[in-house]
Structure 1
Amino acid sequence: MDFSLTEEQLAFRDVVRRWVDAEAPKDWMRQLEADEENYPVALWDKLAEQGFFGIGIPEEYGGLGGDVVTQMIFAREFARTAGGLLWVWGLTSFGGAKTIASVGSKEQKQRFLTKMAAGELRVSLSMTEPDGGTDVLGAMKTHAEKVDGGWKLNGAKMWTTAARVADRLLVLARTDRTVEKKHQGLTMFFVDAKSPGITASLLPKLGMRAMGSCEVHYEDVFVPDEDVLGEPGKAWYAMLPTLNNERIMVGAQCLGAIDGVLEDAVAYMLQRKAFGGIIGRFQVLQHYVADIATWQKTTELLLYYVAQLQSEGKPCGVDANMLKMVATENAVKAADLGIQIMGGMGYSAETDMQRYWRDHRILRMTPISNEMVRNSIAESLGLPRSY
């Protein structure tokens, strides 16, 4: 399989790379990420002005078109400087838009995708239960009951990123408690974030601080029928096709972070002097850089492979899980070695190496823990289910 990018894809990559260097440099990303109280609206506006929210959205809805490979290219280039702030773009373009495109009605696509493509609608994903973590199904207590003209939604969600500034909340809730299996009887709601009964509280955290992850409570929130995505009770089946895209997105983010780590590590080793010369001459540090470069290449090859399978409509569930596991672990290892190379400056908030580590450590646990990924891979080889 040829993983080479086409001329058109290379041209797009170069455009994005120049824009990132000019409009989203690392020093600005570092400043934005440090402000936990304020969502980076200025970054959102820059992305919207350039039209990047339209990547992957069909042209008939005002988007730029492009498949998952195109989105992967953008995510990698942007994450090189943005790190976890990639999700300023990703929550709406890769989370909300992918879901609407997959299960939304024609009317919903026209109503929502056009605004997403224009950068006029901000989406937040509200899936995780307070007692559940990755056990979304087993812990599902958020529920909705049918009422005249819509539904009444009650419950709570954790780690709903950017909820305080969202226009719409993508909420998974149980609508049928009489089902035989936990994945049945679930419904997806695209909730107006300004609806009465919704409260969002900020959750301070280690990384991606400016994204503003929240605990969200829903108390008798009315959701009209027109804001139900897909068939009521069948949300889990509708979500499954989007899971591979999510893992590809994580892989692209992690590869972008490794790019940034390697870039900073080499630059530092060429200018930092100790014991009579640049530290780049030290064999052990050269070994560290060689390890990072190798992790970069293995992640890149697996990412391109899985993205190509997905774009061609071929099965890639196990491969996407492998990508998620490998990419997240390589990104964290790379950032950790980057800190070691830079010493005290790598630990300093004045540089980006510590931010790469903080932003990507969470991805070993989410959207699914790497332990559960390993279980799934083992199950695909014929071993019994462990959870």
Structure 2
Amino acid sequence: MDFELSEEQSAFRDIVRRWVNAELPKDLMRQLEADEENYPFVIWDKLKEQGFFGIGIPEEYGGLGGDVVMQMIFAREMARTAGGLLWVWGLTSFGGAKTLTVAGTEEQRQKWLPEMAAGNLRVSLSMTEPDGGTDVLGAMKTFADKVDGGWVINGAKMWTTGAKVADRLLVLARSDRNAVKKHHGLTAFFVDAKSPGITASLLPKLGMRAMGSCEVHYDNVFVPDSDVLGEPHGAWKAMLPSLNNERIMVGAQCLGAIDGVLEDALDYMKQRHAFGKPIGQFQILQHYVADIATSQKLVELLLYNVSWMQAKGMPCGNEANMLKMVATERAVEAADLGIQILGGMGYSAETDMQRYWRDHRILRMTPISNEMVRNTIAENLGLPRSF
């Protein structure tokens, strides 16, 4: 089996790596991430100028083309310095564009994908319910009622990242109050974020602070029929194909974080002296680095295998879940070891180890908790459902 990148993929990786080093250095990322009140528009503008929002969007819609493997190469390289600020790119290029490509009509794709590819449209995903968490469907209390010419949405969503600066909100709402099964009767809406009746308030949080996650209230928000994605009441089935992509994206972010942790740990161990010798000579710290490097290789192999399967159209739901579970846990473990290696400086906001830990601890719980991932893997292996 060949796990090497193609010549084109390797060249793309090298281009992105040089750009990230020059335009998104870690000291700038620390500065931007610390400011919870202000969205990092400087990152958006740099991505737009370079055309990177077009990665993965078909050329016929103004994008650069490329499959999920190319998107993961980019995500890994950007996350190495940006950490959770990767989602400045990911929410629109990966979340919004993927959903529109899968569930949108041709007219909607022609209208919105070129704007996304050009970096002219910011998208936020408004899915999680205040009482829901992983149980998005069972806790769904956001309702959409049919009216003349469109729908009226009422309800609230949590953790809608980037809502305050979004142009469009991708909203999942229950449109059939009499649906027998909880995954039936759901509709996806591509809502104008400036519509009357929408209010967003920031939720202070541990990591990815500058991304501005919000609680969003929808009070009699009118959405025209033209902004319904896919068939009314059939959103869940239409959106299922994009779930693997979401897990792959998380895996790429975590691998990029491990890359950043490892390079910072090695640099520090070569420079820092204690007890008359470089700390890189201490056996226990060498063991920590060996563990981080092993996690890096494990996640890399899982990521490229699942990305390759997805790009080939092969079933990979279980593998994508395994990737999400392993990558998130290994990234947090690697960052924790990195903090231990740096000692007091690892805990300091002047270095990036604490940022890698804070940005990636959330991913053990989102977009689906690792406990639920384990349930799903076991069920797919033939065991009875546990929830």
TM-score range, shorter chain: over 0.9
Separation (CA, whole Å) in 1 of partners of 2:298 and 2:77: 17
Separation (CA, whole Å) in 2 of partners of 1:223 and 1:271: 58
Task: Give matches, 1:132-281, under 5 Å.
Answer: 132-281=132-281
> What is the aligned-residue RMSD (CA, Å)?
0.4
Cα deviation, residue 115, structure 1: 0.3
Cα deviation, residue 103, structure 1: 1.0
Matched with 2:112 is 112
Instruction: Please tell me the residue identity of whatever aligns with 1:297.
Output: K
Matched with 1:291 is 291
Matched with 1:66 is 66
Separation (CA, whole Å) in 1 of partners of 2:97 and 2:3: 26
Cα deviation, residue 178, structure 1: 1.1
TM-score by length of 2: 1.00
Matched with 2:326 is 326
Identity %: 82
Separation (CA, whole Å) in 1 of partners of 2:263 and 2:320: 26
Matched with 2:29 is 29
Cα deviation, residue 382, structure 1: 1.0
Unaligned runs of 5+ in 1: none
Separation (CA, whole Å) in 2 of partners of 1:335 and 1:260: 9
Matched with 1:350 is 350
Cα deviation, residue 193, structure 1: 0.1
Matched with 2:48 is 48
SS in structure 1 of the partner of residue 221 of structure 2:
strand
Separation (CA, whole Å) in 2 of partners of 1:239 and 1:278: 52
Matched with 2:15 is 15
Instruction: Please tell me the residue identity of whatever aligns with 1:102.
Output: V
Cα deviation, residue 180, structure 1: 1.3
SS in structure 2 of the partner of residue 220 of structure 1:
strand
Matched with 1:306 is 306
TM-score by length of 1: 1.00
Instruction: Please tell me the residue identity of whatever aligns with 1:187.
Output: T
SS in structure 1 of the partner of residue 134 of structure 2:
coil
Cα deviation, residue 33, structure 1: 0.2
Unaligned runs of 5+ in 2: none
How many pairs are equivalent?
387
CA deviations on 1:68-109 (whole Å, 9 max, x unpaired) are: 000000000000000000000000000000000111111100
CA deviations on 1:98-137 (whole Å, 9 max, x unpaired) are: 0001111111001100000000000000000000111001
SS in structure 2 of the partner of residue 199 of structure 1:
strand
SS in structure 2 of the partner of residue 63 of structure 1:
coil
SS in structure 1 of the partner of residue 361 of structure 2:
helix
Separation (CA, whole Å) in 2 of partners of 1:151 and 1:378: 39
Cα deviation, residue 177, structure 1: 1.2
Separation (CA, whole Å) in 1 of partners of 2:122 and 2:139: 27
Matched with 1:82 is 82
SS in structure 1 of the partner of residue 130 of structure 2:
coil
SS in structure 1 of the partner of residue 308 of structure 2:
helix
Separation (CA, whole Å) in 2 of partners of 1:381 and 1:6: 33
Instruction: Please tell me the residue identity of whatever aligns with 2:261.
Output: V
CA deviations on 1:296-315 (whole Å, 9 max, x unpaired) are: 00000000100000000000
Instruction: Please tell me the residue identity of whatever aligns with 1:66.
Output: G
Cα deviation, residue 3, structure 1: 1.6
SS in structure 1 of the partner of residue 159 of structure 2:
strand
Cα deviation, residue 162, structure 1: 0.3
SS in structure 1 of the partner of residue 253 of structure 2:
helix
Instruction: Please tell me the residue identity of whatever aligns with 1:70.
Output: M
Cα deviation, residue 338, structure 1: 0.1
Instruction: Please tell me the residue identity of whatever aligns with 1:120.
Output: N
CA deviations on 1:229-256 (whole Å, 9 max, x unpaired) are: 0000000001100000000000000000
Matched with 1:92 is 92
Judge which range, 102-111 or 326-335, deviates more: 102-111
Matched with 1:335 is 335
CA deviations on 1:49-81 (whole Å, 9 max, x unpaired) are: 000000000111110000000000000000000
SS in structure 1 of the partner of residue 120 of structure 2:
coil
SS in structure 1 of the partner of residue 116 of structure 2:
helix
Separation (CA, whole Å) in 1 of partners of 2:60 and 2:181: 39
SS in structure 2 of the partner of residue 187 of structure 1:
strand
Instruction: Please tell me the residue identity of whatever aligns with 2:172.
Output: L
CA deviations on 1:284-306 (whole Å, 9 max, x unpaired) are: 00000000000000000000100
Cα deviation, residue 277, structure 1: 1.3
SS in structure 1 of the partner of residue 22 of structure 2:
helix
Separation (CA, whole Å) in 2 of partners of 1:143 and 1:67: 35
